[in-house]
Structure 1
């Protein structure tokens, strides 16, 4: 807020002092003369943009260049009833924005520059509406186009809202490196470091262009929408304008460019409800402690509130390496969390890379859905942090966990990678469904066990859902784990495995109770073979718990054990591995049923 006041005071001072020293300076914002746009500056750093051409609630400007120097400003002095400020840059130079962009009222701001847009570390937005920045050639209206490359044709000035963006081949990139403070008017109980380009709460921040990078840059839209559409070829992208909220419609067959967040970049849309993040690209990279954050903040929300969704769509790979994608309801937050939907050819989570729907307040988490047509790789790496997909209720949470669905061709989990659906608080977990048409490989422990989990944690009150695994080839080795266990008061769900070939080497697949709740049933159907070998290694590399297939009541267990059913052609058990139904606690064990046709 101080920054806004400082900028407005500067403009007020200029109005009172028209005879300040006018040393010749190179213009960084200049009209191209095709419209009635006028630009005033007294110091070469701060610019007032007046006039322009009005068409209904739209105001059009045309610039030969548009850049804001470090800590400088560009103030759109528009009428307060303007709804859309539509700007094109025609001179062929990149827009380097390293200061403030301001506008009157609640107008949306459109910035079109086919040469490229770079937001520097000091870039900030102080506008009342939504923002759209693009390196497209033209904005599309129902009657025609407002072009930034064809300045010979009289520009179309439409009274209607824009409906699309036309791109030429190989659109220019967009960079966001803004780390400017964005903590003006923070939400109650907000304790995160706010930085970057911020739009007003509930509004949209949209970028559409070529390759997009955020090197430590931030974007903030509390309860609003952040959307990036990276385009690599000639084509048209639709614009959806609902009041002053913006979104994109990108054709499925349009070739895309890449989006990369590095060096602690962050996109934040959490609030009292709403808040969506959408990214469409060829490859999406969330690296080096960068994060996407949606959900409901501590102390905010209501029983009927719902957070928005995170949707990532990549034609090739999505990589989260030491990064985080999270949709959470924080402590004392009230309302349901939103969904996370990921679609790509491949998904790689490594070195603590995580995707999570979490509940620490009161409400239900959203669903977590991952569709990777070729592969998913979850690798804990060497950081000591666990990588993976998580859907959980924390110890302070009350509610339920949504469903987790994973569809791919090949799934690899190793070095502490996990898919974990767990309740540590009060509430039930949803189902975990894993389908890999070709293979699933789970291997190693690292500092944390690698595996698939749907569990009731220690001290939790609630039931876990089912864990269903479908694949042609399932291998669990070197301390890997597949489990549906209860350590609390609630009952565990069933674990069902449907496969052709099932191998368990020095690993454990189990449904057990370690607490007051009952264990679920373990059912394995392998149309070809099952091979079990070896015992589970302990943390020191020695021999720990038995390996194999287990359905049992542990020493501290009070509930009943589940049944263990095996159906296959061939079953092989060796080197200390077990197929075991047992009770070591107070509850009764279940039944053991084995059908091996050969």
Structure 2
């Protein structure tokens, strides 16, 4: 790049004049007539020297202003702006009515940034090149905005308009661009520099490179066609590419209405050696057609993947191959691919509704298998749809750990399922979630007001978390939900159709109302009608609810079981449900047997029909206890000395403990009217004192009579204190 505007460094050096005395050589008008200064800057007008060097202009602080009637560079020509000391930004405008055609070399003799404004448009031909150390901006807008909010307008022809423009140039753009801008050339900038094209329509079919820098293609319509390329890769980290807008359409830059990235194009923001991948944003407010190859990889030695966003707010046609992985090995994290139109249809063949946003599932699978996380979210408040077609299964079979996130304010429908043999976390967030096919993943998280599981959810060695208002499992085919740690948190939990919940290490269920609950070994289960549904926890099981409701069964022997190390917080425990005849009956818990130990909690139908009891008829409630401590002491087996057994059977609305609250429903035991009777009190003489011995235990006979047992010879140390000490308690002095 030339450091001085010497004619010998220019293509047409043979036209340089030889000045001697009063002799002056005038260049033909055809040679440099394509760059013609205007007179709007008065005595500070631009000067175009023979050979294409541009000097003069109006200096304001660190900014140098030029104004031209026409500005074009022919094929083979070179034009360089002089860069006086202290100048950081060179700004040129075209006040005439002609398009700027650049098919030669445009440069700056120095490191200043170059800005060109021409509302008529720019056309950079196949021979166009840039020779710059700083950044370059070409805009067809009528003005540029400075950091202090002031403007430099093409239409303002008064020299006084420059007097206040002494602050550094801001990145904002003024009014909407008018003309079009196209580039066919191969343009490159220095490391870390930026290139911005802003026009009404921006079409790029050439190549642009800015190592570790920034490329912005902005306008109402932006297109990358043919074999166009944008590259901001560098050895130490990728740069930034904005095509049609910024992240999620934010108003930091003008937003395109229509953006197209052709199938043979490439956009790269890779870290080539060490460092993180860069950022690629392809955006449109209306329609985005995005194909080609987009990469933001981490460094081959070390570094994380970058961010790639491909979005059309209203309509998205997406078949691009996207990769933001981290090939550097252990400790490096894959990047993120974000897709966020208003609605999304995940398809195998672009078969979504006309005008919909279609995402090719093959490209989602490719990204996940490269270790790239994928986030699909809908850019709509209170609505939005994410729909997976029945032939568009999401598969992860290779690559590093990744996360698949589907998030919307509306609905998520998954018809084809998500299957992985690799490290994948699935996150689903929405107002409603319907899972109609299997999901298997390392970890699964769901959060919605309504969750319907019509198939299976399984996590091998990971966690499954379901959080929602109403959660229904087994609404279609029988559902299986299994994980190492399974957590369910809901206002209402319903389980149907032989469905099965299994927590290998732990299972926690928290709900205001639990409907039709069954359980099998190690956990809990809920039943509906004549159908059993199972929940299993191989380790710890926690159940917290205000109310448990079993739908009434008509088949004797229907049952539910809870197994595991069980912690219950159920207050009140009694609920109610409708009988087949429509009348409200006491909770099926009152028609069941509840036994609690480290081994088993079981709910079982007592085989009584609902119509066997009238409103004033209730079965007596029986309570029995098994003291595991006494049994352990008697057998000298202290393994289970901390465990106990509790059994409740029959009906009744009273709580099983004085510390428990009553149900908000009416008590099952009716009120009794007491009529006072008169009588005479009899005074009894005192009896001799009886030496009381504390009972060591109790037994029952076949008739249900309770007998308390005690040692014949009382000791100073009560049996309960001795037992407590052996079972891990502390002996306390009497």
- Fold-level match, TM-score > 0.5? yes
**Deviation, structure 1 residue 551:** 6.5
User: Of 511, 514, 525, which aligns to 2:458?
Assistant: 511
CA distance in 2, matches of 1:140, 1:493: 49
In the other structure, the counterpart of 1:151 is: 157
User: Mapping of 1:92-107 within 5 angstroms?
Assistant: 92-107=97-112
Cα distance change on mapping 1:264 and 1:502 into 2, 3 Å: farther
User: Mapping of 1:253-272 within 5 angstroms?
Assistant: 257-271=220-234, 272=236
CA contact (8 A) 1:568 1:596 kept: no
| Corresponding position: 1:532 with 2:476 | yes
CA distance in 2, matches of 1:107, 1:161: 12
In the other structure, the counterpart of 1:467 is: 427
Larger Rg: 2
**Deviation, structure 1 residue 113:** 1.1
User: Of 69, 78, 90, which aligns to 1:85?
Assistant: 90
Cα distance change on mapping 1:59 and 1:484 into 2, 3 Å: same
Superposed CA offset, 1:20-46 (max 9, x none): 98474682221113332122456xxxx
CA distance in 2, matches of 1:284, 1:150: 32
User: Of 435, 441, 445, which aligns to 2:407?
Assistant: 435
**Deviation, structure 1 residue 593:** 5.8
User: Of 195, 200, 213, which aligns to 1:205?
Assistant: 195
CA contact (8 A) 2:104 2:129 kept: yes
In the other structure, the counterpart of 1:38 is: 47
Give me the TM-score of the superposition, normalised by structure 2.
Answer: 0.55
CA distance in 2, matches of 1:29, 1:404: 50
CA contact (8 A) 2:337 2:375 kept: yes
CA distance in 2, matches of 1:66, 1:225: 25
In the other structure, the counterpart of 1:542 is: none
| Corresponding position: 1:50 with 2:55 | yes
CA contact (8 A) 1:174 1:212 kept: yes
SS at match of 1:60: strand
The gaps in structure 2 that reach 5 residues or longer are 20-24, 246-254, 352-359, 505-519, 529-550, 552-734
**Deviation, structure 1 residue 148:** 1.0
CA distance in 1, matches of 2:99, 2:527: 70
SS at match of 1:386: helix
How many residue pairs were aligned?
Answer: 473
Give me the TM-score of the superposition, normalised by structure 1.
Answer: 0.66
| Corresponding position: 1:118 with 2:123 | yes
SS at match of 1:387: helix
| Corresponding position: 1:220 with 2:190 | no
The gaps in structure 1 that reach 5 residues or longer are 181-195, 231-256, 395-399, 444-449, 458-462, 486-491, 534-547, 553-559, 584-588
CA distance in 2, matches of 1:6, 1:579: 85
Cα distance change on mapping 1:414 and 1:393 into 2, 3 Å: closer
CA distance in 1, matches of 2:343, 2:440: 24
CA contact (8 A) 2:57 2:66 kept: yes
User: Mapping of 1:59-70 within 5 angstroms?
Assistant: 59-70=64-75
**Deviation, structure 1 residue 268:** 1.8
CA distance in 1, matches of 2:230, 2:207: 6
User: Of 28, 36, 39, which aligns to 2:34?
Assistant: 28
Cα distance change on mapping 1:467 and 1:73 into 2, 3 Å: same
CA distance in 2, matches of 1:117, 1:166: 17
* Greater share of helix: 2
Cα distance change on mapping 1:596 and 1:156 into 2, 3 Å: farther
RMSD (Å), alpha carbons: 4.4
In the other structure, the counterpart of 1:184 is: none
Superposed CA offset, 1:195-216 (max 9, x none): x3222110111233323332x2
Q: Quick check: 66-75 or 85-94, which moved more?
A: 66-75
Cα distance change on mapping 1:27 and 1:11 into 2, 3 Å: closer
Superposed CA offset, 1:379-426 (max 9, x none): 3437998233875474xxxxx86684635511133487576777624x
In the other structure, the counterpart of 1:500 is: 450
Cα distance change on mapping 1:582 and 1:156 into 2, 3 Å: closer
